[in-house]
Every structure is written in structure tokens, then in C-alpha cells.
Structure 1
Amino acid sequence: MAQNFHSSPICKLLLLLILQCGLPTTTIAQAPAPAPSGPTNITKILEKAGQFTTLMRLFKLTQVGDQINTQLNNSNQGMTVFAPTDNAFSALKTGTLNSLSDQQKVQLLQFHVLPQYLTTTQFQTISNPLRTQAGDSASDKFPLNITSSGSQVNVTTGVMDTTVSNTLYTDGSLAVYQVDKVLLPMGMFGPQSPAPAPAPGKKKKSGADDDTPATDDSTAGADASDAIQFVGHVHGLMVGSVGVIVFIVFTCL
């Protein structure tokens, strides 16, 4: 009888229910959702790339780095940055950066920033000179010219020439390109206009002080001679007058 119970369908169903209730259930864990990407930060991009310590320091000192980040994260306007390496800054003439005013340092860094996003392919069709964040692109101010031949991108400012040696970052809004020379703008490092010539004046004696008007030697000598003769004449008149007065006094006595 017991054997028939265990082999009956009802018994098998009961055993199956008991087993399902007693065993723990398992679930498959889902992979976590990717964390949202943070805002674009030019300093972090340069820090990750390495060899841009000087540029990062200048970006912080002048707050140009903050301006780039703010503009990228609060507008739809793209940007292109040319990033000189530490070796590029070291190659500058000693004291170049220290000789610049705070405003000039800002302009120097802004000269490395274009207010538009450009790919290396677009460099082949752009119109020169390009306008930078430094402002005026006229030939005597802040002109930046870029030409592309095959895979080589040439950059010139009228003072120096260099090439784009590497693409550090690009996301469709910001492009950062490595350059091995600091881009020196014409308005700050080009030949200066000559000082205006002084207004024409009277001819001066050789060796005379610049503030002393020129004189004629012959005229000066004549004036001195006339003065001496005049003094002598006055002296003679005074002596003669005294003699006359003495004569009149004695006559009256």
C-alpha cells in the first residue's frame, strides 16, 4: 500500500511542491548603469595628456581655463584649442613670460583658442586669417593662418611657424591639438612701428646743450664790444661832469 502511495501522481505532486517551497530562490544581478559624464574641463584633458604643466598653470593664473569651460558648458558654440607643450614654453627666450603684463598673458593664451570647433579635415577648407579669442585678426594684430597638406597641419602667426603634432581630444564640441611651439602673435612679438621723427628746429652749435638755442658767434662778439664802448662813454661823461661842478664851486667862492 505504501509503495502504491509513493508511486501515485498525487504523491509525486506533493513531493514537488515541498521541494519548491523548501529550496531558496536565486536572481541574476543586473550591471549598474554607467555614471553620467561630467562637464567638459580643459584642465583635466591636459592633465590626462601629460607634458602641459606650464599651460595649465597659465590657464589657472589668467582664468582663461575657466572661461573655456564656462563657454563650452553653457552654450552651443564649439571651440578649438592649440596646446603648447612644456618644452615649447621652455624654448622661449628667457624672461619672455615675465616681461608680459597680466593683460598680455591673457591675450597670449586667448590667441591659442578659436571660437569654433574644427576638425583636421576642416583645416583644408578654412579661410585665413582665422579669428581667435584674442580678437582682431588684422595683419598687424592677432592673425592666425592654418594650412593643411595631406595629414600635416601648418600653423603660422607671422612671427613663427609650427605644425599640429597630435590630437589630444575631440568630442564634436571641443578639439584640443598639441603644438610644439608657443603661438606668438604679431601684435605682441612682431616688429614695432618706428618712433615719429622730431619736429625740425633751429640749427644748434656742436656740443651745446639740447635745451640751449643756437647763437651766432659774430653777433655775440659785436654785442659785447658795443656794450664795453657804451660803458666807457658813460664813465667819461661822469668824470667830465664832476670836473665842471668843482670848477663852478671854486669860482663862486
Structure 2
Amino acid sequence: MQAMQRLVALLLSVAITASAQGPAVAPVAPVTPATPAAPAPAAGTTNITGVLAKAGQFNTFIRLLQSTGVAAQIDSQLNSSSGNGLTVFAPTDNAFTSLASGTLNSLSDSQKNALVQYHVLSTAIPMSQFDTVSNPLRTQAGSSSPGEYPLNVTSMGSQQVNISTGVVNATVDNTLYTGDQLVVYQVSKVLLPMAIAGTTPAPAPAPLAALTPKGKKTPVSSGADAPEAEASSDVSPAAPARVVTGGGVAVVHVLALAWVWWGL
């Protein structure tokens, strides 16, 4: 009986020891927090001056965009949900240098504004669609009627596009930016519209010339001088005629008196 009790006690002791130790548990690795992904750029944040500044060689055009307020207008249009996008033709600094001396300084503020607006179309036109557009294109400067702000483009294939304003002929040299409803092209010349560059007055005609009696050309006298010249030409030959006439009458009288005297 005592042996049985000792066996039960031994079994209980072994069971208790085994349960206390339990199975081995693998250590848990610490959890590293995930790196947050970079936020995607917000839509509608394109900046026209930023695009041009990144491309370089457009400092003069950037200054005109800012001074006329057209840059803010373009950014506002791009950030709005409405509209068909914009196309901007950007002349390089060399293109502005090629203008006649004093061209920009001779323009009024309203003309400078119209000049910059003339380089902007109210729709985004990819290079591949220039061969399908209808000329003349209407720019943001205003009417496309002859003598105003018409702009004609001609696609020559192989990514070559020519632009004509009626004053200058330019080419699209490069695509600077496309996306976010904006397309920006580099052009070889400043696009001068007819409404601005076509208003230079023509030079005054040269004065007319008349032939003198000897066949030499002399300037025509003014109306105030003409009567005096005519009067002098009339008076000069008349005086000798009266003198000759008076002398002839005197001779006749003398001869008549001599004849009468001889008869006596």
C-alpha cells in the first residue's frame, strides 16, 4: 500500500515538473513601423514661370509674363476645373534679342499685354494635332480677323511645325512641357501680330518737282508765292512797251509840226 502511494506521488511530481517547464517558445521579433509613402503631388499646381525657369533661356519672356499679369492668369486657368487647357509658345532670350532695337520699349502697357496673350492658345494642342487644326487660330489676344491677331500653323510632318503671323515666320523648335492641361513649346522668333507690328505709319512722300523754262527741276512754289511771281512777270515787259509807245507818239508830233512849219 505504501509502495503504491509513493508511485502515485512520483508520477504527480513528474507531471507537475513537465507542465511547469512547458514547450519552448520562439522569441518574437520587434515590429518595425512602415515608412510612410511620399504624398502624391496635388493636381492643378502647374506654374508656367516654373516650367520656363526650369527649361532655362526664357528670362525675358518670364519677365513679360509677370509684369503684364498673364502668368497669374495662366496659373489660375490651369488650376480651375473648367477649360480645354492651354498652349504657350515661348520665345527664347535670343529671339527677343533679334528684335529691332527699341521694339519692346516702344510698346504701351496694353500692347505688351496683347503681345504676351498672342503667344497663348485657349486649348492644349499636342504636336500630333497641329495638322488637324483650322487656321487661323484664335489666341487669347483677341480677334483672328485679318490685320488683328491671326495665327496660322502648318505641320510639315516629322514633328516640324511652322507658324506665321503675317509679320514674321517662326518654327516650333522643341516641346518644353506637356501635361496637366498645359503644353509649352519653344519657338524661334517672337510672334509679332499685325495689330501691333502692322501699325507703323508709312513715310511721307517726297515733294513734287516742276520743270523750269530751261528744263531744270525745281521745287514747286507754295500757293502764297505763286501770285507774286505771276505779277512780276506781267509788269516787267509792260513798262518798256509804254515807253516805246510814248516815244513814237512824240516823234510823230515833231514831224507834223516840222511839216507845217516848212509849208509856211
Q: What TM-score, normalized by structure 1, do the two folds share?
A: 0.71
Aligned position for 2:55: 49
Q: How far 1:29 moved relative to its partner?
A: 1.3
1:169 and 2:177 matched: yes
Unmatched segments (≥5 aa) in structure 2: 1-9, 206-218, 236-264
Distance 1:7-1:127 versus aligned 2 partners, 3 A rule:
farther
2:68–2:112: 8 Å Cα contact kept in structure 1?
A: yes
Query: Which whole-Å deviations, capped at 9, do the CAs of 1:80-112 have from their partners, x for residues lacking one?
Result: 000001111111111111111111111111110
Deviation at 1:176, TM superposition (A): 0.5
Match of 1:132 in 2: 139
For residues 56-80 of structure 1, what are the alpha-carbon distances to aligned partners after superposition, in whole Å with 9 as ceiling and x for unaligned?
A: 1111111111111112212421110
Q: Partner residue of 1:154?
A: 162
Residues 173-229 of structure 1: CA deviation (Å, up to 9, x unaligned):
1110111211111121136576999xxxxxxx9534x6x49647459x89xxxxxxx
Equivalent residue for 2:188, pick from 180, 193, 208: 180
User: Secondary structure of the residue that 1:69 maps to in structure 2?
Assistant: helix
Task: Give the structure with higher Rg (CA).
Answer: 2
The answer to whether 1:27 aligns with 2:68 is no
Does residue 1:123 correspond to 2:130, yes or no?
yes
Shift in CA distance, 166/5, structure 1 to aligned 2, threshold 3 Å: farther
Contact 1:117 1:172 in 2 (8 A): no
- Does structure 1 conserve the Cα–Cα contact (< 8 Å) formed by 2:118 and 2:193? yes
Which residue of structure 2 aligns with residue 112 of structure 1?
119
Match of 2:221 among 185, 207, 230: 207
Residue segments in structure 1 that go unaligned for 5+ positions in a row: 198-204, 223-253
- Answer whether contact 2:46 2:79 (CA < 8 A) is retained: yes
Matches within 5 A, 1:225-244: none
- Does the Cα contact within 8 Å between 1:6 and 1:12 map onto a contact in 2? no
| Alpha-carbon distance change, 75 to 135 in structure 1, aligned in 2, over 3 angstroms | farther
> What residue in structure 1 maps to residue 255 of structure 2?
none
Q: CA deviation at 1:127?
A: 0.5
**Structure 2 letter corresponding to 1:105:** K
Q: What is the aligned-residue identity percentage? A: 49
Give the Cα separation in 1 of the matches to 2:199 and 2:78.
Answer: 35
Residues 53, 5 of structure 1: alpha-carbon distance in 2 compared, 3 angstrom cutoff: farther
- Inter-CA distance 50–9: structure 2 relative to 1 (3 Å threshold): farther
Aligned-pair distance for 1:25?
Answer: 2.2
Conserved 8 A contact 1:5-1:11? no
The change in CA–CA distance for 1:7 and 1:176 in structure 2 (over 3 A counts) is: farther
3-state secondary structure, aligned to 2:87: strand
SS in 1 for 2:138: coil
User: Which amino acid is the alignment partner of residue 34 of structure 1?
Assistant: P
Residue equivalent to 2:149: 142
How far apart are 1:160 and its partner, in Å? 1.1
1:11 pairs with 2:16 = no
Hey, what does 2:239 align to over in structure 1? none
Change (3 A) 1:87 1:152: same
Instruction: Describe the SS at the equivalent of 1:144.
Output: strand
| Contact persistence 2:143–2:150 (CA under 8 A) | yes
Change (3 A) 1:6 1:108: farther
